[in-house]
Amino acid sequence: MEKMTGDDLNSPETMRDIISFYKRLAAQKESLIRLDDFYGMGGAWIAFRHDDVAAMLKDPRLVKDMRKYVPQNEPEAAEASTYVGKLFEWLRNMPNMLSADPPDHTRLRRLASKAFTPQMIEGLRPRIQQIADELLDTVQERGRMDLVADFAYPLPITVISEMLGIPAADRNLFRGWTQKLLHAAVDPRQGSAVEEALEEFIGYIRTLLDDKRRNPGTDVTSGLVQAYEQGDKLSENELLSTIWLLIIAGHETTVNLIGNGMLALLRHPGQMRLLRETPSLLPGAVEEMLRMEGPIVIASRFAGEDIAMHGKVIRQGEIVLLSLAAANVDPHKFSDADTFDITREENEHLAFGKGIHHCLGAPLARLEGQIAFGTLLRRLPDLRLAVEPERLVYNYGKLRSLTGLPVLF
């Protein structure tokens, strides 16, 4: 039987064909699959059945805070001199709501959630539409574009940057830093790229925070700075890490929702024609894109205690990898799971997670996706791929992402 490795979870081949990846996992004949080593961080377990992943996302015995629960053989397997050790050390010292457990998680999420109320998100609709139209105005006369670089990236990075009070001139800095962190973090060949990106990224945020202290505004960053200065609500490192998380999570996942989702439509012209003719299907279409083409492939946890499951024992401190992508194409949960169907009615996908770590920005991502796809289909009636699908390249990394998506119109 084929042995699974950490590379199998992040390879371009997996990102290209999640259905085949699910079948490889299912072929192991186990509901929990053991990895002997996960990038030098010790043994790990993969869960990929929908019901298991959904339950484990909500299980309080599976935790996020690596300050309390780390792989049992770390740091021996990942010494401080290695990029893995340095990344772990940084993450331990820079907690945010994604990497914390209650009560810290509750406190940090409550502070950030003030910017993501339904009313505030809906209030962004006119501005998001304006950004989408302006981006297409720039390229329409050309008759071609890289949909990732020219549209899918600048749309969400502009939105989250405006929310955070980040100057327009600085927004292109984040793409390089984020790409290094998300892709080099699981590729030892990248060496010091992770450390360099972290230092530059956090250095920028420190400068941004200093500016907001001197010149506070009505943006989210200014609000978090004020909360910090009122004392005890969050530490300096929590403040830095929260802004860092909002920048990354506020754009990178939506970039890939738009890129992956548009590719799915282009590869299913009947579905694209149906959506163009019936815009009321947009909300459901975005959910189907999230199910089959969602950007988050794996969610990770640590076992806070020994956990017995499916005849196995997950030992305290071991890494648990929850395959959201595989769970979302589980035929035991979804009828015709490998069919892209924008009219699918029952779609309990896990693209945004579940439980206390359910994606805070899910409403914003959904809104941006609906506006992005609706605008592209309305304004570019002859939208089509500029290359054969087989020539498209997926990144090696933690997110399912295309290096580019050249299109004609």
Render pLDDT for 327-379 as a digit per residue (tens, 0 to 9): 999 999 999 999 999 999 999 999 999 999 999 999 999 999 999 999 999 99
Least confident of 45-54, 227-236, 377-386: 227-236
DSSP 3-state assignment of 399? strand
* Least confident segment among 4-13, 76-85, 185-194, 308-317: 76-85
Res 169 pLDDT > 70: yes
* Cα atoms found within 13 Å of the Cα of residue 185, Cβ hemisphere only: 16
pLDDT over 90 (residue 73)? no
Identify the pLDDT of residue 71.
Answer: 45
Residue 4 has what pLDDT? 82
Question: What per-residue confidence (pLDDT) applies to 400?
Answer: 95
The tokens for 278 are: 């019936």
pLDDT beyond 90 at 92: no
- pLDDT at 76 exceeding the cut of 60: no
Cis peptide before 103 (omega within 30 of 0): yes
Tens of pLDDT along 27-49?
A: 998 999 999 888 777 889 999 99
What percent of the chain shows pLDDT beyond 70? 91
Encoded tokens for 124: 């962004």
Q: How much is the pLDDT for 224?
A: 93
For the domain bounded by 6-408, which CATH number is listed?
Answer: 1.10.630.10
| 319, 41 Cβ separation under 8 angstroms | yes
Query: Does the structure show a pLDDT above 60 at 156?
Result: yes
Q: The whole model's pTM is what?
A: 0.92
Residues 46 and 49: their CA atoms lie apart, in Å, by 10
pLDDT-based confidence at residue 200 (cuts at 50, 70, 90): very high
β pairing state of 44-47 and 307-309: unpaired
Enumerate the H helices of 215-296 as residue ranges: 220-229, 236-249, 252-267, 269-277, 282-293
Q: Which residues contact 10 (CB under 8 A, 6 or more apart)?
A: 186, 187, 297, 396, 397, 398
- Tell me: pLDDT of 123 over 70: yes
227 — pLDDT class (breaks 50, 70, 90):
confident
Residue 78 has what pLDDT? Answer: 43
Q: Which pLDDT belongs to residue 79?
A: 43
Round the average pLDDT of the chain to a whole number and report it.
Answer: 90
Greatest mean pLDDT among 100-114, 170-184, 262-276: 262-276
Cα separation, 404 vs 59, in Å, equals 37
* Strand, coil or helix: 349: coil
| Confidence band of 74 (pLDDT split at 50, 70, 90) | very low
- Is-contact 291 284, C-beta < 8 A? no
Closest CA to 63 of 36, 89, 95, 86: 95
Residue 7 vs residue 305, higher pLDDT: 305
pLDDT of 7 > 90? The answer is no
Nearest Cα to Cα of residue 242 among 234, 230, 251, 253: 234
- Residue 172's pLDDT band (cuts 50, 70, 90): confident
| Whether residue 81 has pLDDT greater than 50 | no
Q: What is the pLDDT of residues 238-256, one digit of tens each?
A: 999 999 999 999 999 999 9
Q: What pLDDT does residue 234 have?
A: 83
Helix (H, G, I), strand (E, B) or coil at 405: coil
Q: What is the pLDDT of residue 87?
A: 61
